[in-house]
């Protein structure tokens, strides 16, 4: 495969994805960027974070090329590291794209820790986000610290609290990667107890 420039906007199936940062508050043992340049043939190793204006400029070129099902903030980092960028781009999509679609944020659930004194879920909802997919990945703090290797304190509890707040305002899907250390059934029960849906994810060794 020929070497290509890193992608900010890329597509998989009927979804359009926005890769807005490579920074993350976790260093998960299973993370794609530990063993891959990208996803589905798209290089996601950006050298610098794109401005909201740059993201919107690329969206203008691609957003009308297909009837997208979802636009998803998901790349090689944690999107809520750049909350204001999510909000600005989401507001632009809602203002300028007239077709129905879901706007989703794939997150590790650290949004409130990364954005102190912000009403993260309320701000996402008001901007036009419909759904969050939250990577819980463990049934307790010990397992979470083992497989997600967080860079912040009380990380697991912050994810649980994020989910509990999110289900009051947004559609919420909790996910977990299938690892030998993880009890998926316990995570499923915890997710459903909060009112969230649950989706297991298979461990994928590489993309390209």
**Residue 106 maps to which CATH number?**
3.20.20.70
Query: Is 1 inside a domain boundary?
Result: no
Query: Is 124 inside a domain boundary?
Result: yes
- How far is residue 59's CA from residue 87's CA, in Å, rounded to a whole number? 15
The predicted structure's pLDDT at residue 41: 76
Give the 3-state secondary structure of 145-196. Answer: HHHHCCCCCCHHHHHHHHHHHHCCCCEEEEEEECCCCCCHHHHHHHHHHHCC
- The domain total for the chain is 1
- Token pair 């967080």 in the structure block, residue: 150
The predicted structure's pLDDT at residue 5: 82
Query: Is 61 inside a domain boundary?
Result: yes
The predicted structure's pLDDT at residue 204: 57
What domain range is 42 assigned to?
9-201
The predicted structure's pLDDT at residue 155: 97
pTM for the predicted model, two decimal places: 0.92
Query: Is 2 inside a domain boundary?
Result: no
The predicted structure's pLDDT at residue 114: 97
The predicted structure's pLDDT at residue 206: 41
**Minimal CA–CA distance to 71: which of 104, 119, 37, 109?**
104
The predicted structure's pLDDT at residue 68: 94
**Minimal CA–CA distance to 25: which of 84, 109, 105?**
109
Could you tell me the mean pLDDT of each successive run of 10 residues in the chain, 208 residues long? Answer: 75 95 93 74 86 96 92 96 98 93 98 97 98 97 96 96 98 95 95 96 56
Task: Identify the helix (H) or strand (E) that includes residue 135.
Answer: strand 131-135
Query: Is 206 inside a domain boundary?
Result: no
């Amino acid at each position: 495969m020929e070497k290509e420039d890193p992608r900010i906007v890329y597509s998989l199936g009927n979804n359009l994805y926005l890769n807005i940062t490579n920074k993350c508050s976790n260093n998960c043992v299973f993370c794609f960027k530990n063993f891959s340049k990208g996803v589905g043939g798209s290089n996601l190793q950006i050298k610098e974070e794109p401005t909201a204006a740059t993201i919107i400029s690329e969206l203008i070129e691609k957003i009308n090329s297909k009837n997208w099902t979802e636009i998803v903030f998901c790349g090689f980092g944690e999107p809520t590291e750049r909350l204001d960028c999510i909000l600005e781009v989401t507001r632009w999509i809602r203002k300028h794209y007239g077709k129905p679609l879901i706007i989703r944020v794939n997150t590790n659930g650290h949004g409130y820790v990364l954005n102190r004194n912000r009403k993260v879920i309320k701000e996402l909802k008001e901007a036009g986000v419909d759904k969050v997919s939250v990577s819980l990945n463990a049934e307790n703090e010990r397992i979470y610290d083992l497989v997600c290797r967080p860079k912040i304190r009380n990380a697991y509890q912050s994810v649980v609290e994020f989910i509990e707040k999110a289900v009051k305002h947004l559609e919420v899907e909790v996910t977990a990667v299938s690892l030998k250390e993880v009890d998926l059934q316990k995570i499923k029960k915890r997710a459903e107890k909060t009112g969230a849906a649950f989706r297991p994810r298979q461990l994928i060794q590489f993309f390209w």
